[in-house]
Amino acid sequence: MITSKRMKALEINSEALGVPTLLLMENAGRSVKDEIMKRLNLDYSKKVVVFAGTGGKGGDGLVVARHLASEGSEVHVLLLGENKHPDAIINLNAIYEMDYSIREVKLIKDTDELQPVKADVLIDAMLGTGFSGKVREPFRTAIRVFNQSSGFKVSIDIPSGINADDEEQQGEHVIPDLIVTFHDLKPGLKKFESKVVVKKIGIPKEAEIYVGPGDVIVNVKKREYNTKKGDNGRVLIIGGNFTFSGAPTLSALGALRTGADLVYVASPEETAKVISSFSPDLISIKLKGKNISTDNLDELKPWIDKADVVVVGPGMGQERETVDASIEIVRYLKAKNKPSVIDADALKSVAGMELFPNAVITPHAGEFKIYSGVQPDSNMRKRIEQVKECSLKCNCVVLLKGYVDIIAEKEEFKLNKTGNPGMAVGGTGDTLTGIIASFMAQKLSPFTSAYLGAFVNGLAGSIAYEKLGAHLVATDIIENIPKVINEPLEVFKKKVYKRILDT
């Protein structure tokens, strides 16, 4: 099963990997033509009427029309409005040029022009997987007329009027004899399963395995105009000690740049004063003592309860009192199943502990061995299995940082290949932690937040690397986060990536 949102992400990722959506549309349309030809043995005497909508599904229908006309069918195309989908426009222009082989291309300007027809084949290319809610004109009338017409009825991808993500029927919809859907079955097709044929259209497996710009586009929502402070989440960073102030600051600034509304940094008193001086955008919580200890738990708990997401670990150090505090803080987070990112020193402190589903851990290879007791394998496929196994055992999302990032939630995994050698400097892991926390605060799942965080952090680093080479620092990544989130496809296409899987 695949949702419409996930399908859209795969199509965009395919484009980014060099398989254009125009080619996917061509493959989709041709696969529908092949299925029709196989079932009906079409020849020149067969009449085909295509009801074409104004989006990508309409474009698929135009491809079907072109191929069936080339096979000798008598093809009529009814356009239910002006199509602005760029790939569909290309195919529409081709259709207009086929004024000898295609019998009719008619733009419907009034629903009164829609009347039941008699044909050998009727193609439903009206409303696709982006549809939800109530059917509006001219599609309401077109669906009714389509159902009243006589002929073998074929729906492309999903019957018009059906929500691709909801198996419950929503109002009037096309009643097809055959559904040719693409890549995988959609949840809304469960009731039609006996009529469904699934066809692959050339989406590479890599579009699913690797995090891509499509994942950012479909998951990171634009803010509504009536948004108020706090709607996009409060992040609490617990970290720093008498020596280290940079790590929690970088996490906090990364979280802010990624879109969290409020970011609090809880650190020992003198460290907190230093952190306050970095940016007026940060809210500094001053804890008693030189290092975070169990004495600070009563101070921290109200802030933990108030936060939407908690980060624990950056720059905390490994003093005995801090290790004890890390363990107690994580236990408190676990008891509440609080969305959390457990990183760096805190992760080392809780080595071997079973965590909880709302937790994300972000170890590099050394930390992974400390936490899990397993040395990451140099073979990528074996390494993936190790991360999946670790996720199963620790009951949380695991992001193993490296030349290639591996993100796993039990058996499900994603790979991230953004990044560059210049990012092998202090602080880049801290920015990653903040980015992940920010996505979680914006109500994305821990797994989604983790793989998006890896992608955004690496791609922001790639922009900096392009300008600075191996002289970038972590704050350069923070500056480029907005560009990656605002223009992920454009930025991704400009970068050169490595081949990552061992054969």
* Statement to judge: residues 171 and 222 lie in one domain: no
Nearest to 368 by CA among 380, 352, 392: 352
Instruction: Please tell me the pTM assigned to this model.
Output: 0.92
Q: Give the pLDDT confidence score for residue 43 in this predicted structure.
A: 62
Judge whether residue 120 has pLDDT over 70: yes
Any domain includes 192: yes
Looking at residue 44, its pLDDT comes to 57
What pLDDT score was predicted for residue 110?
A: 94
Domain co-membership, 176 together with 251 = no
Same domain, 270 and 313: yes
Binding positions: 124, 128-134, 157, 160, 247, 315, 364, 429-430
> What band does 166 get if pLDDT is binned at 50, 70 and 90?
confident
Is residue 95 in a domain?
yes
Taking 70 as the threshold, does the pLDDT of residue 299 lie above it? yes
Indicate if the pLDDT at residue 498 is higher than 80.
no
Residue ranges making up the domain that contains 414: 214-493
Over residues 374-383, the mean pLDDT reads 96
Domain membership flag for residue 501: no
Question: Do residue 466 and residue 399 come from a single domain?
Answer: yes
β-pair type (309-312, 397-400) = unpaired
Q: What are the CA-CA distances from residue 140 to residues 55, 147, 149, 281 (Å)?
A: 16, 11, 15, 51
**Residue 419 within any structural domain of the chain:** yes
Binding residues for (6S)-NADPHX: 128-134, 157, 247, 315, 364, 430
Q: Is 320 exposed, middle or buried (0-12, 13-18, 19+ CB in 10 A)?
A: exposed
Same domain as 227, residue 162:
no
Per-residue model confidence (pLDDT) at position 392: 98
Q: Is residue 443 part of a domain?
A: yes
The answer to whether residues 262 and 365 belong to one domain is yes
Residues 444 and 470 in one domain: yes
Same domain, 290 and 187: no
Q: Strands 412-416, 405-409: parallel, antiparallel or unpaired by DSSP?
A: antiparallel
Q: Which residues are annotated as a binding site for AMP?
A: 429
**Range with the poorest average pLDDT among 330-344, 378-392, 417-431:** 417-431
pLDDT surpasses 60 at 499: no
Q: How many domains, in total, are found in the chain?
A: 2
Residue 499 included in any domain: no
**Any idea which of 46-55, 130-139, 224-233, 386-395 has the lowest mean pLDDT?**
224-233
Q: Output the domain CATH number for residue 106.
A: 3.40.50.10260
Residue 502 lies in a domain: no
Point out the domain boundary residue: 156, 173, 208. Answer: 208
Same domain assignment for residues 236 and 311: yes
Looking at 208, 243, 278, which one is the last position of a domain? 208
C-beta separation of 437 from 362 below 8 A: no
The answer on 160 and 24 residing in a single domain is yes
Report the CATH number that the domain containing residue 443 is assigned in CATH: 3.40.1190.20
Residues 230 and 135 in one domain: no
Annotated binding-site residue numbers for K(+):
124, 160
AA identity, residue 304: I
Asked whether residue 194 falls in the same domain as residue 288, the answer is no
Helix H or strand E encompassing 312: strand 309-312
What's the pLDDT at 136?
94
The distance between the two most distant Cα atoms of the chain, rounded to a whole number of Å, is 88
Last residue of a domain, one of 158, 184, 208: 208
Asked whether residue 439 is domain-assigned, the answer is yes
